[in-house]
Amino acid sequence: MANILAVDDDMQILSIIKKALENDGHRVETADRAEKVIKEKLSRYDLILLDVMMPDTDGFTFCKDIRNSVDCPILFITAKTMDTDLTEGFAAGADDYIRKPFSLSELRARVNAHLRRERREYHNRIVSEDFNFDISAKILYFHQEQIELTKSEYEICEFLVRNRGQVFSLEQILEKVYGFDCGSDSSAIREHIKNIRAKLKKCGENPIETVWGIGYKWC
Distance, first Cα to last Cα, the chain? 39
Taking the model in full, what pTM does it have? 0.63
User: How far, in Å, CA of 200 to CA of 58, rounded?
Assistant: 29
User: How far, in Å, CA of 44 to CA of 69, rounded?
Assistant: 12
Three-state SS string across the chain, please?
A: CCEEEEECCCHHHHHHHHHHHHHCCCEEEEECCHHHCCHHHHHHCCEEEEECCCCCCCHHHHHHHHHHHCCCCEEEEECCCCHHHHHHHHHCCCCEEEECCCCHHHHHHHHHHHHHHHHCCCCCEEEECCEEEECCCCEEEECCEEECCCHHHHHHHHHHHHCCCCCECHHHHHHHHHCCCCCCCHHHHHHHHHHHHHHHHCCCCCCEEEECCCEEEEC
Ordered per-residue pLDDT tens for the chain, 219 residues: 789 999 999 999 999 999 999 999 999 999 999 999 988 888 889 899 999 989 899 999 999 999 877 878 999 988 866 666 777 888 888 888 888 888 899 899 989 888 887 765 444 688 888 898 988 888 999 987 899 999 899 999 999 998 988 999 999 999 888 775 565 678 889 999 999 999 999 889 899 999 998 999 998
User: How far, in Å, CA of 169 to CA of 152, rounded?
Assistant: 16
Q: Which pLDDT belongs to residue 88?
A: 81
